[in-house]
Structure 1
Amino acid sequence: MCGITGIMVTGDNQVDQSALRLMTEQIAHRGPDADGFFFGAGVALGHRRLSIIDVDGGHQPMLSRDERVVVSYNGEIYNFQQLRRELEALGHHFTSHSDTEVLLASYLEWGRECVTRLRGMFAFALWDSRSRELFLARDRLGIKPLYFANLADGTFIFGSELKALMVYPGISRKMRIDALEDFMALGYVPDPKSILDGVEQLSPGYTLTVNRETGQQRQMPYWSLDVVTPAIAGGQPDELLERLEEAVKLRMIADVPLGAFLSGGLDSSTIVGLMSRNNPEPVETCSIGSDDPLFDESGHAQLVADHFGTHHRMRLVSAKDSSLLDVMASVYDEPFADLSALPTYRVCALAREKVKVALSGDGGDELFAGYRRHRFHMLEEELRSRIPLGIRRPVFSALAAVYPKLDGAPRFMRAKSTFEALARSSAEAYFQSVSKTPDSVRLKLYSRKMSDRLFGYHPQERFTKLATEVSDAHPLSIIQYIDFKTYLPGDILTKVDRASMAHSLEVRVPILDHKFVEWGLRLDPETRIRDGIGKAVFKDATRGFVPNSIIDRPKKGFNVPAANWLREELAGEVRNLAASERLLDTGLFSRKAMQKMVDEHLEQKRDHHTSLWSLLMLERSMEQLDLSYA
């Protein structure tokens, strides 16, 4: 795992070498083992290396034998050995045992189409002096990040993290208004946007080609999820476990110590079990325990560790870990409001004490419909399918308007959100179900200036567009498609990448092997949610392999007791929000509305913890990046 940076200038301009070195230094945590630089005519590439495969070889940036092509690469190509054999048969010769050299040879042999042959996680930049083009690519699911910007003087810069770009002279520090709205709604900034005006993320499954002579830029998709084609035959439990085991075995290739996260949930337990079955020595596993019994899963993790005979370590941390508040802004750069980022950061630190690579169970809920919102959406969808929207919208909107919001009541009494969902289209309803701050609350927070500058933009437009792309798919497959395009890369994978890289730890995600994903999303949707139970086919596949008590227990998640935390340890921080100069000086927020939200939460009249946490993270990120909005 590594970090990459680069600069391309126009005409006879020369690359600022000191700027590239400074950019690369900002992401030293992504690769503490070595750095490297390439300086050519108008183009420069930087690299920070975390040595995983071919520790002594594979240094980057790596040049082709004729020195006309050079690559800087972040990630792992798990099928590099197979590709190497294929390339050797075509006449290529290798001087190292690294996947980087295989990537370089793949480009020399197949050109830009090489990305379609890669199986892994990656973000890379490749300069081809023959065509005078810079070629960038990002993996299919968005496991590895890549930011880029076009500056006013024609300079093109890129880097693995936003902090690498922020030190380049002349970079914009103005917030992008629609990205701010996205963040307040979702808790993250979805690609291809960033929080900065003028800086973008390369979307998962895309390539970007930049011609130095003409300045022309082309973004092209090279992969897409297929959720429309009718379900494939098969999908028996044995086949699922066999396919996942193959993905796990590929990700166990490493020349450094390797382990796994073990939360005690079904996904991580299955990954650990498959690793144990393919490793002669006990697998190194680790988990974080909480001092709050309501949020502690360490007992379940220990049960799985005993079952598979792993070498397990657990560390108890406070559920109310306020020391990480400022650290999160530094780690994530952009505002990021997933509260599970805090325990994720801690478990990555624990893992790095023993290993350099860890496997995780991320992606199982997205692939096999394991979230509670999936089940609720499908229940609502049954009624939506029977009553036209033209009738539902006025009827259920009226019911929602008069029904009180009962945050603390039993779930069956909280009908207001259900009425609101039934009054919307399917995509609109799903957007609201994943929102950190719903429309009714968010719009009250904004000033007239914010509302005017949005020009009618609403974040649910992306959800509606994505749903339209696969409108012929099963309703469950549609919302899973939306998850794979938004929540998975924007939240889950961003969370794990930044938290792990902050500790120079590589995390591999077998469930998100693109071949396994392609197969899993083609299974009959009825096998994912059956009789109101999510991940049904995955549970069938693991029964008899993972303890039943793990399979059958309710999903808990990797969370913290945020509502009370913000009323107790962080009450002072919450009170200060209503007078935050960083937020209020933008002119985008209403002081009165913020004060009301703070008072309602502290006085336990309403639970606003997700919105307040988003505002706290926004404030810290604005300070970290010195952001403004004029």
Structure 2
Amino acid sequence: MCGIAGWVAYGRDLEAERERVERMTATMRLRGPDDGGVWIGGPAALGHRRLAVIDVGGGRQPMTSPDGQVVLSYSGEIYNFQELREQLRSHGHQFRTRSDTEVVLAAYLQWPEDFAARLNGMYAFAVWDARSQQLLLVRDRLGIKPLYYYPTADGLLFGSEPKAILANPLAEAVIDGDGLCELLTFAKMPGHATFRGMYEVRPGEIVHLRRGGLSRAAYWNLQAREHTADAAATATAVRELLEDVVARQLVSDVALGTLLSGGLDSSAITALAQRSLVSSRGEPVRSFTVDFTGYTENFTTDAFRATPDAPYAAECSRALGTDHRTVVLDSAQLVRPEVRRAVLRARDLPYGAGEMDISLHLLFRAVREHSTVVLSGEAADEVFGGYPWFHDSAAVNAGTFPWMAALGGSSSGGFVSPELTARLDLDGYAAQHYRDAVAEVPRLPGESAAQRRAREVCYLHLTRFVPILLDRKDRMSMATGLEVRVPFCDHRLVDYVFNVPWSIKSADGREKSLLRAAVADMLPASVAQRRKAPYPSTTDPAYARALAGQATTLLDAPAELIHVDAVRELLRRPPDAMTRAERVRLEAALALWTWVREYDVRVES
């Protein structure tokens, strides 16, 4: 896994701008701590920072074709690279390394029109073809790996993260009304990058830059297909797909593990990984769980969490025989200002996950001491229907994103200026975004209204909710030099399950019925039947007290951005009386104000 950056400026020789290119590339150092390089040729410059996972001694980048005319800067993993390499050898290609990077480069040379459609993996990369003076920016089908671009008068800038682009003086850190709406509503609009003038390569998309201009083309979209298999055959097909997906994603030349919460999703991935590793290498998988000091011992149920993770993770590990570690975090770690700042710098944007972002960052940092690669159960809820609101008819039929109906649509929560909120028309923005998303949903002739709505809800989660979680996972992991793989985002699995009728996905009347049917035989019954529990959050009052202390900086914020009076009123109360909802919203406001200052953002709403 790596970080990439680059610049194309037609009519210029960017060798004169090497220092700026190197500065852009250096911002990706945390994503790629093992190596780095810059290639410049006339109007094109490509930079690369490497986290070595496959062919540690080879695969340096940017990588050039044998004739030097095509250059690749690549981030990600191609899980079918070994099969592709054999196909390419049959076409006469010779390989100097064992890396998947070289396979991607050869695939472009052999199949320039459809090479991306042949890739199975998580990736984001840039190809410069000097023969046609063309740049291609390519992103994987689900958007697991990030890639941004910023058109300029004579070309564009690009990078794995906005910070790479903002390191070039041509890019300005400006946020307008649309950008603020994007930050304050809990839905990801594909292609938007919050900063004015900056864009994301959409999942499953190729961006072409030529002298004549820029164009975009999708090479993959979710498609509606008739599903004819019964429940038993469908569960068998899902099991076979998962076995293949996990086996592919265990390919690594460095230490590998799994994230194990003790829930159905992560336990299924861990069980499959354990079987595969014991069979192929004769060794157990390493598994990791996060916990907080006193959390399990003093656990109390709430609307979302019926049980703590650690006991179930330990039970699952014992049953499977994994090499297990529990990472215990305390409030002293969570409240460090330098950690909060590192999280903000990792994300580049003030998304308001607050303490959960911080704990995830600390978890990944601890895991990195033992493993370079881990597999995660992320996205199973979106693929298989795991959230409570999937089964709440009011949320499903609310005429907006179901999670917004269930959780509330804005992260501002009264701590962002009410004048700003009213001027932005967040409700109108979210409503238009929702209508645009529903209009994209593929249809199947003959579907009933209920079937059509079930398909819409699944599509909304896969295209507007999953990207938020994947971005969070990518930024927090890559900031620690850890590669997190997400088997449930394999496009073959997603495409198959997307077309399974809701009656099969919810056959036992519970969340993720289909996944449970496919994997329950591998897991302890208590784990297989456990009710979904979200990622844990500390309940230590010391954290709320520390947050209240840090939030006093909001009292100096401009009134046109932060609702200072509301913050002041909250801070007058004992911190221990702060509700979790208030804490989350306060953290969102604190992140916004800190981001505006640290990134020197100009707000033009």
Q: TM-score of the superposition, structure 1-length normalised? A: 0.86
Distance 2:66 2:52 in 1: 22
Match of 2:347 among 326, 329, 332: 332
Distance 1:612 1:470 in 2: 35
| Higher deviation after alignment, 100-109 or 568-577 | 568-577
* Residues 523-542 of structure 1: CA deviation (Å, up to 9, x unaligned): 12112224541101111122
Q: Which residues in structure 2 correspond to 1:295-334 (within 5 Å)?
A: 296-318=308-330, 321-323=334-336, 324-334=339-349
Tell me, yes or no, if the aligned pair for 1:184 and 1:611 is still in contact at 8 Å.
Answer: no
Tell me, yes or no, if the aligned pair for 1:37 and 1:47 is still in contact at 8 Å.
Answer: yes
* Residues 116-137 of structure 1: CA deviation (Å, up to 9, x unaligned): 0000000000000111110010
Change (3 A) 1:118 1:605: closer
* Residues 548-574 of structure 1: CA deviation (Å, up to 9, x unaligned): 111212211113147956742312233
Q: Which residue of structure 2 aligns with residue 138 of structure 1?
A: 139
Distance 2:440 2:570 in 1: 38
Distance 1:563 1:146 in 2: 37
Shift of 1:464: 2.0
Q: Which residue of structure 2 aligns with residue 467 of structure 1?
A: 438
Change (3 A) 1:429 1:331: closer
- In structure 2, the residue corresponding to 1:29 is in which secondary structure? coil
* Residues 407-449 of structure 1: CA deviation (Å, up to 9, x unaligned): xxxxxxxxxxxxxx4xxx2x3555433545379x56x944545
Distance 1:81 1:603 in 2: 55
Q: Which residue of structure 1 aligns with residue 58 of structure 2?
A: 57
2:210 paired with 1:233: no
Distance 1:354 1:129 in 2: 42
Tell me, yes or no, if the aligned pair for 1:527 and 1:536 is still in contact at 8 Å.
Answer: yes
Change (3 A) 1:273 1:588: same
Shift of 1:610: 2.9
Distance 1:501 1:353 in 2: 14
Q: Which residue of structure 1 aligns with residue 209 of structure 2?
A: 210
2:498 paired with 1:485: no
2:481 paired with 1:504: yes
Change (3 A) 1:193 1:48: same
Q: Which residue of structure 2 aligns with residue 557 of structure 1?
A: 534
Change (3 A) 1:436 1:611: farther
Shift of 1:517: 1.0
State the AA in 2 paired with 1:515.
R
Shift of 1:380: 5.3
* Residues 164-192 of structure 1: CA deviation (Å, up to 9, x unaligned): 11211132121132221222221x76442
Q: Which residues in structure 2 correspond to 1:150-549 (within 5 Å)?
A: 150-151=151-152, 153-186=153-186, 190-211=189-210, 213-214=211-212, 216-226=213-223, 228-234=224-230, 235-279=233-277, 280-291=282-293, 292-293=295-296, 294=299, 296-318=308-330, 321-323=334-336, 324-339=339-354, 340-376=356-392, 378=393, 381=396, 421=398, 425=399, 427=400, 430-435=403-408, 437=410, 445-448=416-419, 451-452=422-423, 457-470=428-441, 472=443, 474-489=452-467, 491-530=468-507, 532-549=509-526
* Residues 290-309 of structure 1: CA deviation (Å, up to 9, x unaligned): 22222842221111111111
Q: Which residue of structure 2 aligns with residue 410 of structure 1?
A: none
Tell me, yes or no, if the aligned pair for 1:185 and 1:435 is still in contact at 8 Å.
Answer: no
Q: Which residue of structure 1 aligns with residue 109 of structure 2?
A: 108
Shift of 1:242: 1.7
Tell me, yes or no, if the aligned pair for 2:181 and 2:426 is still in contact at 8 Å.
Answer: no
Distance 1:601 1:143 in 2: 41
Shift of 1:99: 0.9
Tell me, yes or no, if the aligned pair for 1:147 and 1:162 is still in contact at 8 Å.
Answer: yes
Tell me, yes or no, if the aligned pair for 1:447 and 1:590 is still in contact at 8 Å.
Answer: yes
Distance 2:235 2:45 in 1: 50
- In structure 1, the residue corresponding to 2:598 is in which secondary structure? helix
Shift of 1:13: 5.0
State the AA in 1 paired with 2:462.
F
State the AA in 1 paired with 2:545.
E
Change (3 A) 1:535 1:450: closer
Q: Which residue of structure 1 aligns with residue 595 of structure 2?
A: 621
- In structure 2, the residue corresponding to 1:94 is in which secondary structure? coil
Distance 1:555 1:452 in 2: 38
Change (3 A) 1:5 1:162: same
Corresponding pairs, count: 575
Shift of 1:202: 1.1
| Higher deviation after alignment, 619-628 or 593-602 | 593-602
Shift of 1:96: 1.4
Distance 2:508 2:327 in 1: 37
Tell me, yes or no, if the aligned pair for 1:566 and 1:574 is still in contact at 8 Å.
Answer: no
Shift of 1:463: 2.0
Q: TM-score of the superposition, structure 2-length normalised? A: 0.89
| Higher deviation after alignment, 465-474 or 355-364 | 465-474
Tell me, yes or no, if the aligned pair for 2:33 and 2:481 is still in contact at 8 Å.
Answer: yes
Q: Which residue of structure 2 aligns with residue 398 of structure 1?
A: none
- In structure 1, the residue corresponding to 2:101 is in which secondary structure? helix
Shift of 1:20: 0.7
State the AA in 2 paired with 1:310.
T
Distance 1:347 1:625 in 2: 26
* Residues 470-516 of structure 1: CA deviation (Å, up to 9, x unaligned): 27453222112111111111x21111111111111111111111111
Identity %: 30
- In structure 2, the residue corresponding to 1:608 is in which secondary structure? helix
Gaps of 5+ in 2: 300-306, 444-450
Q: Which residues in structure 2 correspond to 1:18-29 (within 5 Å)?
A: 18-29=19-30
Shift of 1:334: 1.0
Change (3 A) 1:510 1:315: same
Shift of 1:42: 0.9
Change (3 A) 1:229 1:237: closer
Distance 2:262 2:426 in 1: 46
Shift of 1:611: 2.1
* Residues 133-156 of structure 1: CA deviation (Å, up to 9, x unaligned): 1001000001100111123x4341
Tell me, yes or no, if the aligned pair for 1:431 and 1:463 is still in contact at 8 Å.
Answer: no
State the AA in 1 paired with 2:20.
A
Change (3 A) 1:355 1:531: closer
Distance 1:580 1:108 in 2: 56
Q: Which residue of structure 2 aligns with residue 399 of structure 1?
A: none
- In structure 1, the residue corresponding to 2:261 is in which secondary structure? coil
- In structure 2, the residue corresponding to 1:543 is in which secondary structure? helix
Change (3 A) 1:476 1:460: same
Change (3 A) 1:379 1:196: closer
Change (3 A) 1:589 1:286: closer
Change (3 A) 1:598 1:437: farther
Shift of 1:575: 4.2
Distance 2:526 2:123 in 1: 36
Shift of 1:94: 1.5
- In structure 2, the residue corresponding to 1:30 is in which secondary structure? coil
Report the RMSD for the aligned CA atoms in angstroms.
2.5
Distance 2:3 2:576 in 1: 45
Shift of 1:602: 5.4
Gaps of 5+ in 1: 385-420
Distance 2:3 2:426 in 1: 37
